[in-house]
Chains A and B, each alone.
Chain A
Amino acid sequence: MSAARLSRWFASRDWKPFAFQRETWRAYLDGASGLVHAPTGIGKTLAVWGGPLLAGMRRRRGRKPRKTAEPLRVLWITPLRALASDTVAALHEPVESLELPWSIEKRTGDTPQARKVRQRQRFPTALVTTPESLSILLSYPETRERFATLECVIVDEWHELIGTKRGVQTELCLARLRHWNPALRTWGLSATLGNLEEARDVLLGHPGRDDARLISSDYDKRIEIETLLPDEIERFPWSGHLGTRLVPQVLAAIERARSSLLFTNTRSQAELWFRSILLARPDWLGRIALHHGSLDRKLRTRVEDLLKEGGLQAVVCTSSLDLGVDFAPVEQVFQLGSPKGIARLVQRAGRSGHQPGQVSRVVCVPTHAFELVEFAAARAAVEARAIEARHPLELTLDVLAQHAVTVALGGGFAGDDLLAEVRTTHAFRRMTDQQWAWTLDFVTRGGPSLTAYPEYQRVTREDGRYVVASRLVGRQHRLNIGTITDASALTVKLTSGRKLGTIEESFIARLAPGDIFGFAGRTLELVSVRGQQVLARRTKLQKGRVPRWNGGRFPLSTQLADAVRGHMPLVSPDSPAEELRAAAPLLELQARWSLIPAGDEILIEMTRTRAGHHVSLFPFEGRLVHEGLAALLAYRIARRAPCTIDLTVNDYGIELLSGHALLLDEGDWRVLLSEGDLLEDLLACVNETQMARRQFRAIARIAGLIFNGYPGAPRQGRQLQASSDMFFDVFRDYDPDNLLLDQARREVLEQQLEVRRLRRALRRIAGQALRLVTTERLTPLSFPLNAERLRAQYVTSERWSDRVRRMVQQLERAAERTVDSHA
């Protein structure tokens, strides 16, 4: 029996198959499809890989040994091409021991051209690839025939793909493969999500299958969350100075273990922490490293390799190291600053103890006193398994347009056939006939507005089928398949010619030659900016500005925000959680000067300072929702009586600052905070055009309007270069019904303004008691907002920090005085 052989192989490694692994194997042999979810590091890979292996062994039973490898059976899709090599190695292990005649190869953007061509002639038994490389394969007409023996597609780290346009691209590719072979099995691997059933259904397509499985490991990975407590609590916390006060404690903790990963939330923070550590321990040069998504691939790969070899004491990193790769030597993980979300903290914790049976530990480092509450709240949410959902995207016509060209190139399609196929995906199951017709028009004639222009050719019709006739169009399209877009970035190079990584233009624009800045863990002096290249020279380690990258500021997730709101009233000197005890002095002062909102209350503080009249309210809904809500409130207030209001938000609340008192009573607030004409008001008050223009960048690239190419790919001819802004403007002026513009607006509402969440928040607030409090001074809750507002007014962060520090001293003195007067 082949299952016994596989079990023996487990036994030979001193492992025992988990029940969920056996269950997955059986389901696979029954021909079922499904999703497997289990914590990191307990054998998800073997759960889904075992099925195809067993099927392979059954097929071979009683037959003569094969001289050549079996034909293509399994496609293994991974979201990270950096993971492909490790995956090939992991899949290879049991194949070798079981002496199966299987070949396993990877195919990603990095695979040499010659090998790709050879693979297309004869695929390996299992092909490890990315969604992009799979799409490119679908653009070759002969792929259908070469995929005839395929029996299974496995999508790894599905939780990373769902909720993104790459996820939609994957859905479309899967629909194509299932159209070719309805018996094809689809299996996904996912970390825990709040919407696992939906995640499975999205992966398997519509209509759902009766035999769809959702298999969970009964194994509960233990996660320990501990917090480095500061010796002294700041009663007026403000973000931006990084909690570097805790550097000595972090250093001591790093020394405790053989190797550590220190996760930050943004690339800038990673740079700043790396520098702080190195300034404190110059002798660690070479033993600590930095890893984030804007560093050159070569630098990153070196760090990953050193980490695997156990050659590094610590790596400061961002979510660039959240995924995959088994860094067995990692003993401990730090979360520097707010965890932002539960799933994120669990994922990061899982980077340590990445073996079955080991405990995952994460040491949380508050950079801001309220984060103590976040950590306690996160621990409770992890224990309750209150994990965030990731919602799949729908009706992304840019991705569909790209896919339609891909299919036209890969042998062509009849309109109705492709429509039926596309509607089997979750993303397009509700697509209207008009949306489909527009998309077809867009790829064939450039859109309805271009009807009369015969020179246009991308997809053409031949004998009733849509095909790509132009070789130029085909070549260009293949080079630009994919949905990953980079912000326009400049390459940073040392004078020696060594590439360090990329930086955004907006940052470099503020620097002049000779200025000092920190990047890639080095201190650099700007030499020149030419075209897309920034030339810099190294200088001695010192403080200097550190770049900010767009997209770095995650909002607090709904789950964590809910948990934080629930934990605020629990803070006391007798709390069971040490973080809550540590935060007690902070909330004690908040209670004394204002109040701590109970779970069913929303706090609005009114304070007058020299700066003006402050109104601060605390919905605890995360930065993005607060941005939309703040703009909405200002708009609604100004509609009653014109006034100028300065808006500031953070993850906890909103500050409205005005020159005159706003004089709003509870009834007024009820109206201001009502749902009303939410969409209409929101669109009237945010700079929607500007936001849509920004959002349109990725859409233009995905829909094939502009061509970024990718590193190493030949650039498009200069004559065909255009920016997404140019397209945005000409469409807005001359083709206003273009559905891609409409999509940009929808994405602004859904992604940038989180309208769904905003609506939910307004509904919640409608059921809450409003607590309006006039305070004499800024409170521990409102002070961080004030500090955030001041940041924008100062040219240098040093002067800003000085100013904020002075304000903290004044407030602390006032706090001492009120204690005295109480005494």
Chain B
Amino acid sequence: MHEIRWHQQRLQLLPQRAVYLPERGTLWIADPHFGKDASFRKAGIPVPRACQQDDLARLHDILRSTGATRLVVLGDFWHDRAGRTAATLAALADWRAAHADLRCVLVRGNHDQRAGDPPADWRIDCQAEIEQDPFVLRHHPPETAERPTVCGHLHPGFVLGNLRVPCFHFGPRLAILPAFGSFTGMKTVRPQADEAVYLVTPDAVVPGPGVVLRG
């Protein structure tokens, strides 16, 4: 865990690729792409099923360890319609049932628009964009952020030597979360002069090169 202050808020960056706001009991994740593995298998491309089980286990863990009461998914909950197989739906329904008191919000992403909203009985509130003062939460990063904005969509990764690792990418008014799903790609980012990256390693988040953000 690596805690930073951004726009006067405490943000805990978790190596499980999530952000926890301790003062609000809120957990943010982006781009889980649930069902992506199933959709690949359907097309004849073998992706071990364990990777989604692992993603769900990871989500369980951080919900338990943080005690979060609210989860915001910053888009691309689903990968595509083909991935909404019976097995995927059952696994997710179990997960939802295990956290029945958790309030869930999905800020729809481009993949969700094609794949459809999660089943209504999962009680996931689906929105195009939400506000959580002082932040705007959305899926797709805006061209210019007027207000502090938190997004997903890009799956940022940072190149370290010949290794690429997922990262949190923070600018003065725009923050991009790494993709939560483990079977997702990355887009290499090169932080500008006024930006910072925080690198996700298996058990810690470490600041990468760049400016030190001041609250």
A interface residues, Cβ below 8 angstroms from B: 442, 445-447, 449-450, 453, 455-458, 470, 472-473, 476, 505, 509, 690, 694, 704-705, 719-723, 725-727, 729-731, 733-735
- B50 in complex: contacting residue of A705, A721, A729, A734, CB < 8 Å: A734
Q: Which of A472, A509, A730 neighbours the largest number of chain B CB atoms within 10 Å of its CB? A: A730
Stretch at the interface among B4-12, B78-86, B94-102: B78-86
Question: How long is the Cα–Cα vector from A51 to B38 in the complex, in angstroms?
Answer: 54
Q: Please, how many angstroms separate the alpha-carbon atoms of A141 and B79 in the complex?
A: 35
**Cβ of B48 and Cβ of A473 under 8 Å apart?**
no
Known: A720-B39, A722-B40, A722-B183. A447 touches B46 (CB 8 A): yes
Which 3 A-B residue pairings sit nearest by Cβ, starting from the closest?
A: A446-B46, A458-B44, A734-B48
Sample of 13 further A-B pairs with CB below 8 A, known A470-B44, A472-B44:
A450-B46, A453-B41, A453-B87, A455-B42, A457-B42, A458-B45, A705-B46, A719-B80, A719-B82, A721-B185, A730-B48, A730-B51, A733-B182
List, in ascending order, chain B residues with CB within 8 A of A727's CB.
Answer: 47
Cα distance A690–B185 in the bound complex, in angstroms: 17
Q: A505 to B190: give the CA distance in the assembly, Å.
A: 13
With known contacts A509-B159, A509-B190, A446–B39 Cβ distance under 8 A: no
- Is B60's CB within 8 Å of the partner chain A? no
A-B contact count (CB 8 A): 88
- Measured in the bound complex, the distance between the Cα atoms of B161 and A50 in whole Å is 56
| A720 contacts B43, C-beta separation under 8 Å | yes
Query: How far apart are the CA atoms of A719 and B162 in the complex, in Å?
Result: 27
Interface centre among A447, A455, A470, A473 (most CB of B within 10 A): A455
Q: Interface residue count for B (Cβ, 8 Å)?
A: 31
Closest approach, in angstroms, between the C-beta of B91 and any C-beta of chain A? 13
Residues of A within 8 A of B43 (CB): 472-473, 476, 720
Is A449 a contact of B42 with CB atoms below 8 Å?
no
* Bound: A754/B203 CA distance, A: 35
Q: How many angstroms between the C-alpha atoms of A453 and B82 in the bound complex?
A: 14
> In the complex, which residues of chain A have a beta carbon less than 8 angstroms from the beta carbon of B38?
453, 455
A726 to B157, CA, bound (A): 13
Residues of A contacting B164 in the complex (Cβ-Cβ under 8 angstroms) = 725
A456 touches B48 (CB 8 A): no
Taking the closest CB of chain A, its distance from the CB of B109, in whole angstroms, is 13
Collect the chain B residues with CB atoms within 8 Å of residue A733's CB: 50-51, 54, 182
Cα of A704 to Cα of B38 in the assembled complex, Å: 16
B69 within 8 A of A: no
Find out whether the CB atom of B45 lies under 8 angstroms from the CB atom of A690. Answer: no
Question: Nearest CB to that of A690 among chain B residues?
Answer: B162
* Alpha-carbon separation in the docked complex, A703 to B185 (Å): 19
Q: Is the C-beta of B49 less than 8 angstroms from some C-beta in chain A?
A: yes
Our pick among B41, B50, B82, B182 for the contact of A456 (Cβ within 8 Å) is: B41
Chain B positions within 8 Å of A449 at CB level: 48, 50
Q: Which residues of A contact B40 (CB under 8 A)?
A: 720, 722
Q: For the complex, is B193 an interface residue (Cβ under 8 Å from A)?
A: no
Q: Is B163 on the interface with A (CB-CB < 8 A)?
A: yes
**Shortest distance from the beta carbon of A441 to any chain B beta carbon, whole Å:** 10
The contact sample of 7 A-B pairs, CB cut-off 8 A, is A446-B45, A450-B46, A453-B38, A455-B87, A457-B44, A705-B45, A720-B43
User: Would B44 and A509 count as touching, CB distance under 8 A?
Assistant: no
Q: Is the CB of A476 within 8 A of B44?
A: yes
**For residue A531, which residue of chain B has the nearest CB?**
B187
Contact of A455 among B41, B183, B184 (CB under 8 A): B41
A445 to B46, CA, bound (A): 8
Closest to A689 in B: B163
Which residue of chain B is the closest to A447 with respect to CB atoms? B46
8 Å CB interface, B184-200 against A:
184-185, 188, 190
- Residue of B39, B163, B188 near A719 (CB, 8 A) is B39
A694 surroundings in chain B (CB, below 8 A): 162
Q: B42 and A456: CB pair below 8 A?
A: yes
Q: Mark B18-57, 1 if CB is under 8 A from A, else 0.
A: 0000000000000000000011111111111111001000
User: Contacts of B87 on A, CB cut-off 8 Å?
Assistant: 453, 455
Asked if A726 contacts B185 (CB within 8 A), the reply is: yes
**Given A509-B159, A719-B80, A722-B183, A730 and B47 contact (CB-CB distance below 8 Å):** yes
For A721, give the chain B residue with the smallest CB separation: B185
**B49→A450 contact, CB < 8 A:** yes
